[in-house]
Amino acid sequence: MKKISIISISLIIILILILVFVLVKPTQEIVSVSLVSETTEITYTDSESIRIFEDAIRTVKKVRGAVDVGPPSYRMTVTYADSEIVDFSLYMDLKAKNGFLIKNSNSEKMLDLKDKNAVELADLLSKEKRE
């Protein structure tokens, strides 16, 4: 009886570990982020800016339903360490310090930025406008 319960618990733990490793995708490392607007073109490669973008992308909240919005504040190209390139449209209100992303490969889904991330992004982008 004891052997059966130990084997059962072991199998459950193994199954959970397999699910975690298969279903949880490791976060990819960003090596650069390029932003293009009507007046600006900038590429970020420094570690602090990359951290801000990684946190913002990793923590977005998908908004239900389809969206229909105007032109973005920035066209954003994210390059990952494995050479994958993902294009986004970034909509930012620098004064209100809020915004959202739309992944160009799924242009009907809005990805809302968390407040903390939107503030960090707005501060980073505002700093570039002042310089």
Tens-digit pLDDT profile for the chain (131 aa)? Answer: 677 888 888 888 888 877 776 665 556 789 999 999 988 899 999 999 999 999 999 999 988 877 778 899 999 999 999 889 999 999 999 999 999 999 988 877 889 999 999 999 999 998 865 55
Q: Look at residue 18 and tell me if it is in a domain.
A: no
CB 42, CB 32: distance < 8 Å:
no
Cα Rg, the chain, nearest whole Å:
20
Q: Where are the alpha helices (H) located in the chain, listed in sequence order?
A: 2-23, 47-58, 115-130
How many structural domains comprise the chain? 1
Residue 119: its pLDDT value, please? Answer: 95
Between the CA of residue 104 and those of 2, 86, 107, what are the distances in Å?
55, 8, 5
Which domain, by its residues, includes 115? 28-130
Q: Look at residue 9 and tell me if it is in a domain.
A: no
Give the Cα separation of 104 and 78 in Å (integer): 12
Q: Look at residue 60 and tell me if it is in a domain.
A: yes
Residue 80: its pLDDT value, please? Answer: 93
Q: Look at residue 17 and tell me if it is in a domain.
A: no
Q: Look at residue 44 and tell me if it is in a domain.
A: yes
Give the Cα separation of 44 and 27 in Å (integer): 19
Residue 131: its pLDDT value, please? Answer: 52
The CATH number for 33's domain is 2.60.40.4400
Q: Look at residue 16 and tell me if it is in a domain.
A: no
Q: Look at residue 14 and tell me if it is in a domain.
A: no
Q: Look at residue 4 and tell me if it is in a domain.
A: no
